[in-house]
Amino acid sequence: MTGLCEGRVAIVTGGGRGIGREHALMLASEGASVVVNDLGGAPDGEGSDLTPAQEVVAEIEAAGGHAIANGADITDFAQAEALIAEAVEVFGRLDVLVNNAGILRDRMVFSMSEAEWDAVVAVHLKGHFCPTRHAAAYWRAQSKAGEPVDARIINTTSPSGLYGNIGQANYGAAKAAIAGFTTVCALELGRLGVTANCLAPTAITRLVAPLMGGEENISDEVKQSLSPRWVATVGTWLASTESASVTGRVFDVRGDRLIIAEGWHAGPQGTNPGEPDRLGPVIEGLLSQARPHADLDGNDDPTRLT
């Protein structure tokens, strides 16, 4: 390894398993000290167990790195504040926040319960806001004190949030909001020396494997081609000082395919006639010029919503 993140201090939420585990291991292998945060719940968010985070810490330490385990609930405002404070207390500073924790409670929108909606939106969206809010306040205080800041926020959206996926109204809505949240953070925090970017990963994890027929039915070739390490590679580079000029971007990572997902832009424009009975032809004309909806791979698909 090259020591790309030598001397930097990073927090990784959801760092005990899957993509978060790979983020933590690769950041440490590149010289970062890592706070491995993981509540240790089941894929649907139930329960808690610090063991996965502790196992990642043990692996980092065995390789000569520095890490601590943290079991804070990142949907809790006070616990998120304590998470940021612990990183600073133990390692003396904070340079990188990787917001990665997530759960799934998939259901068609007409069958989804209020609890299923609230739980997923809380972990993903509020679970991004709470740590980010307290990290941003820490970096703002540093900046106001005249100390140099070269910090990173790395958020996690999803193709489901960017392009939509059946059965994931709660997850897709939260992930779409995270992409928007990233843009706002980039605009607000750039003057402080903080960048904010977003990953949209496709990788085989304990959340995704059941959607692909179960891990036992996924070939070794597919597991390698969609390993979480591909995502961690991009995350680690974004965490480094090399990425200081990159902010407000969403990186769609699918194995060795690296795509910049382009956000909303103004498309075809027309004139509103002011009368609803005259609007139909105007809308039809604009739609004939507009790009079709994208499929889950982000490619134009004229048939998707027909």
Could you give the CA distance from residue 196 to residue 267 in angstroms, rounded to a whole number?
A: 26
Positions of E strands within 16-125: 33-37, 67-70, 96-98
Which run of H or of E encompasses 144?
helix 127-144
Alpha carbon distances (Å) from 291 to 54, 279, 282: 48, 20, 16
**Catalytic site residue 175?**
yes
Question: 33, 158, 160, 243: which is the annotated catalytic residue?
Answer: 158
Output the CA torsion sign for 297, 292, 305, 158: positive
3-class DSSP assignment, residue 282? helix
Could you give the CA distance from residue 21 to residue 25 in angstroms, rounded to a whole number?
A: 6
Question: 33, 160, 163, 175: which is the annotated catalytic residue?
Answer: 175
Question: 29, 33, 163, 171: which is the annotated catalytic residue?
Answer: 171
Whether 35 and 10 have beta carbons less than 8 Å apart is answered as yes
Which run of H or of E encompasses 155?
strand 151-156
**Catalytic site residue 126?**
no
For the record, the structure tokens of 132 come out as 């980010």
User: For residue 74, what are the contacts with CB-CB under 8 A and spacing of at least 6?
Assistant: 13, 37, 39, 80, 83, 99, 101, 123, 127, 130, 131
Q: Residue 285, Cβ neighbours under 10 Å: how many? A: 12
Phi-psi region of 208 (alpha: psi -120 to 50; beta: other; left: phi over 0): alpha
Known catalytic residues are: 158, 171, 175
